[in-house]
Chains A and B, each alone.
Chain A
């Protein structure tokens, strides 16, 4: 069974940075698009970013462009989300997901990011 495990969440002050990681297993990671989706407390789902199998294409939602960077290391079966210039509006559970044709097939359990002073 496909497994995705996120880590790196926590409490950070406004303006700070955080790097999320997602470790993948039990599928061919290097053949898969990957993405991050977030969910603010009590709110709906928001797609954040995705990255092509070889890292050559990346797409972002407008609200994070220029602040967040998605990357991957196929040798480590991992995808990352570097988050800079964080604001309180970035507070959310961040899910890593395996994407196929822009569909989030499998999700991790999520990691909570809280931006607060």
Chain B
């Protein structure tokens, strides 16, 4: 199985900060990676597909990059509604797997 390791697992940031989350795959997965946002007690929401394609309706302050085995999710100018947990997911190989999550909290 492909393991996804997210770092950090927790980060504290302020409104307006730039935030970067990393997702490392245990083997190369090309650009077959998605990012999700999950707020407390809610279902996850898809943000980015194929490593860098922003889903329609997602604010442009979110961006994704990377290929192979290292990927990043960047949020420029963090907004109050962005405080949540973020997950990466590989779609290269079964079983589909998620990273452990990165919780973004208010400093």
Contact = CB atoms under 8 A, between A and B. Distances in A.
Interface of A: 35, 37, 44-47, 50, 59-62, 95, 101-110
Contact of A103 (B43, B49, B97, B100): B49
Interface residues of B, number: 21
Contacts of A61: 95
B64 interface: no
A102 B43 contact: no
6 contacts: A45-B36, A47-B98, A59-B95, A102-B96, A103-B49, A104-B89
B46 A105 contact: yes
B45 interface: yes
A43 to B, nearest CB: 9
Contact of B45 (A46, A62, A107): A107
B98 A44 contact: yes
Nearest to A63: B95
A55 to B, nearest CB: 17
B43 A110 contact: yes
Contacts, number: 51
B87 A62 contact: no
A105 B53 CA distance: 13
Contact of A45 (B45, B49, B94, B98): B98
Q: Closest 10 A-B residue pairs measured CB to CB? A: A102-B91, A107-B43, A47-B96, A45-B98, A61-B95, A44-B101, A103-B34, A59-B94, A44-B100, A103-B49
Contact of A104 (B1, B36, B94): B36
Most chain B beta-carbon contacts within 10 A, residue among A35, A37, A95: A37
A109 B46 contact: no
A44 to B, nearest CB: 5
Contact of B46 (A46, A62, A104, A108): A104
